[in-house]
């Protein structure tokens, strides 16, 4: 049935712009939006930035409280969100927790925005 | 006054992790959070993804409505937010508006997360 196939193609492909690769599915977009929400906060961006600027891209939680000017529970809350979103990993050594950057955690978004 | 300087350094530098570069300032983080909020929405991520996957990373608004399953005013609203955040540029040709990807719009975030 070539006519039917042609009709289907036109309705799916719309009027003008051909796609050169597969866009995000609805499910992928939902997941990625959750990840982006973790970044859409000034305190979390500063915390992530301090970790990224630290030697070996790792920082003790004790070094993160003063620069952002928030209480330790608030800082811990933000760090938990960043860890759950896959931007940081947490390890405990002695008294303190250390947070390390996960390299390439933003790759999914970068790839989305870079022309292939 | 070397004593005073030493005390200042210790209080600013905290206990353990030296910084190897300058982290985001509070103002930079505020601005970047606004940009990230534009991305933290499934419909906007899908729209951006379809533009990025289109030939020449440009798409007619007429091609963006059906794939995301939203009304034209809603799609236009999301496209306006993405344009204001610097991810898309808009140009009108004939009846339709075309949206083109701004390459490197996510560079600020990528640089933040990539170890230098």
Which pLDDT belongs to residue B15?
59
Tell whether A12 is covered by a domain: no
Q: Report the residue of A38, A41, A42 to disrupt the B interface, i.e. the one with the largest count of B CBs within 10 Å.
A: A42
Q: A94 to chain B: which residues are within 8 Å by CB?
A: none
Tell whether A9 is covered by a domain: no
What is the secondary structure of A41-56 as a DSSP string? Answer: SHHHHHHHHHHHHBGG
Please list the pLDDT of chain A residue by residue as tens digits (116 residues).
343 433 333 334 445 678 888 888 899 899 889 989 999 999 999 999 999 889 999 999 999 999 999 999 999 999 999 999 999 999 999 999 999 999 877 776 666 655 44
ipTM over 0.95: no
Tell whether B9 is covered by a domain: no
* B16 vs A36, A40, A62: nearest CB: A62
Measure the CA–CA gap between B69 and B42, rounded to whole angstroms. Answer: 12
Q: A57 to chain B: which residues are within 8 Å by CB?
A: 115
Q: Which of B66-70, B101-105, B109-113 has the lowest mean pLDDT?
A: B109-113
Half-sphere exposure of A45 (CA within 13 A, CB side): 25
Which pLDDT belongs to residue A113?
59
Which pLDDT belongs to residue B105?
78
Quote the tokens at residue B110: 């990528």
Which pLDDT belongs to residue B17?
72
| pLDDT tens readout for residues B21-33 | 888 889 989 988 9
Tell whether A97 is covered by a domain: yes
Which pLDDT belongs to residue A103?
82
Q: B103 to chain A: which residues are within 8 Å by CB?
A: 113-115
Q: B39 to chain A: which residues are within 8 Å by CB?
A: 33, 36, 39-40, 109
Which pLDDT belongs to residue B11?
40
How many residues does this entry show for chain B? 116
Tell whether A15 is covered by a domain: no
CATH number at residue A46: 1.10.10.10
| 8 Å CB contact between A59 and A99 | yes
| pLDDT tens readout for residues B33-90 | 998 999 999 999 999 999 988 999 999 999 999 999 999 999 999 999 999 999 999 9
Measure the CA–CA gap between A113 and B109, rounded to whole angstroms. Answer: 12
Task: Please identify which residue in the block is written with the tokens 């597969």.
Answer: A22
Tell whether B70 is covered by a domain: yes
Which pLDDT belongs to residue A97?
94
Q: Which bin fits A21, alpha (ψ -120 to 50), beta or left (φ > 0)?
A: beta
Tell whether B77 is covered by a domain: yes
Q: Report how many domains make up chain B.
A: 1
How many residues does this entry show for chain A? 116
Tell whether B78 is covered by a domain: yes
Measure the CA–CA gap between B56 and B79, rounded to whole angstroms. Answer: 18
Residues spanned by the domain of B73: 31-113
Question: Is B82 exposed, middle or buried, given 0-12, 13-18 or 19+ CB atoms closer than 10 A?
Answer: buried
Q: Which of residues 58-97 of B touch A (CB under 8 A)?
A: 58-60, 62-63, 66-67, 87, 96
Task: Please identify which residue in the block is written with the tokens 């419909």.
Answer: B43
């Amino acid at each position: 049935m070539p006519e039917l196939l042609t009709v289907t193609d036109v309705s799916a492909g719309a009027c003008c712009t051909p796609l050169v690769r597969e866009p995000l599915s609805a499910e992928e977009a939902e997941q990625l939006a959750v990840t982006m929400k973790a970044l859409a906060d000034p305190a979390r961006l500063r915390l992530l930035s301090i970790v990224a600027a630290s030697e070996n891209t790792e920082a003790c939680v004790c070094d993160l409280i003063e620069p952002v000017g928030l209480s330790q529970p608030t800082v811990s809350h933000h760090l938990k969100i960043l860890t759950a979103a896959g931007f940081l990993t947490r390890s405990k050594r002695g008294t303190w927790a250390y947070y390390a950057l996960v390299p390439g955690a933003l790759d999914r978004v970068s790839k989305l925005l870079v022309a292939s």
